[in-house]
Amino acid sequence: MGSDRLPAGIGMTDQVAPSRERIGAVGDFRDSEVKVCSVFGRSVGVIRKGDEFFGILNVCPHRGAGVCEGVLGGTMLPSAPDTFNFGMDGFVLRCPWHKWQFDIRTGKTMNQIDDRSLKLVPVHVEDDQVYVGSETGPSSGAGEDE
């Protein structure tokens, strides 16, 4: 835990093996829904927010729950006394085990309750197809693995 490296097989840069895997067409993903896919044998949650896609390794950094089985929604934001400010709707993933909340854009816990973060996985669209892994392939230098 605590490593920023991607899981084995995702975003590989130093091997000839494919560094990305097609997981479907854009139309296969409903907005604001977490779709769990198997990518190079690893469970990855893919979330579509309009034209943007986010990928998350389906492992909670707290105790290892399948975090992508949790609820995607919003959260209460810091606010003045006696006021309630709900926001970030559709960008907060709540782990099903102990309810830690994570920002899907950064992987960080809400309100920085802990330094551990979700492992983000690159997702991109090409010719209306959705891919998980390195966009530019083995020579990109990004997302290196062990």
Q: What is the binding site for ligand FES (CB under 6 A)?
A: 60, 62-63, 65, 67, 95, 97-98, 100
Q: Which residues of 3-16 are buried (b: 16+ CB within 10 A; e: fewer)?
A: eeebbebbbbbeee
Smallest separation, CB 40 to ligand FES (Å): 23
- Least distance between ligand FES and beta carbon 75 (Å): 14
Q: Is the CB of 93 or the CB of 132 nearer to ligand FES? A: 93
Q: Are the C-beta atoms of 34 and 52 separated by less than 8 Å?
A: no
**For ligand FES, which is the closer residue by CB, 25 or 36?**
36
Q: How far is the CB of 2 from ligand FES (least distance, A)?
A: 15
Q: Which residue has the tokens 């097609």?
A: 22
Q: Which is nearer to ligand FES, 9 or 96 (CB)?
A: 96
The residue type at 133: G
Close Cβ partners of 137 (under 8 Å, ≥ 6 residues apart): 19, 20
